[in-house]
Amino acid sequence: MFRIILSFAALLAALPAAQADILKIDDGKPVVVVLDNRPQRGMTMDEVRERFGEPMESRGPVGDPPITTWNYGDFIVVFEGKYVLHTVNKTARRP
């Protein structure tokens, strides 16, 4: 039981506060369920394509490590290899 609590605390400390909305524990293993409506760091290209569909435009791969960008209109997804590195919102929030 102590291991589960310690693992849970370590996982929460490692995650940015705004990224995880729900933390489920299945079979003693913590699983983060993200409710944000854009691709999250670490998702694969296949996961992004499955959840968000085909991009409007794609560029790359370029360089080493290979960097690829997918344009979805409201946001751009930047991949390093086959994993999401960043998602950039194209709609600016102004105060």
List pLDDT tens digits, range 78-87: 999 999 998 9
Asked whether residue 82 falls in the same domain as residue 51, the answer is yes
Asked whether residue 29 falls in the same domain as residue 52, the answer is no
Nearest to 54, CA basis, from 32, 30, 77 = 77
Please report whether residue 28 resides in a domain: yes
Residue with more model confidence, 54 or 35: 54
Q: What's the total number of domains in the chain? A: 2
Please report whether residue 95 resides in a domain: no
Asked whether residue 51 falls in the same domain as residue 26, the answer is no
Confidence of residue 29 (pLDDT cuts 50, 70, 90): low
∠ CA 40-70-64 to the nearest 5 degrees? 90
Q: Residue 17 belongs to what domain range?
A: 2-33
Asked whether residue 80 falls in the same domain as residue 50, the answer is yes
Confidence of residue 21 (pLDDT cuts 50, 70, 90): very low
Asked whether residue 77 falls in the same domain as residue 51, the answer is yes
Question: pLDDT value at position 74?
Answer: 85
Regarding pTM above 0.85, the answer is no
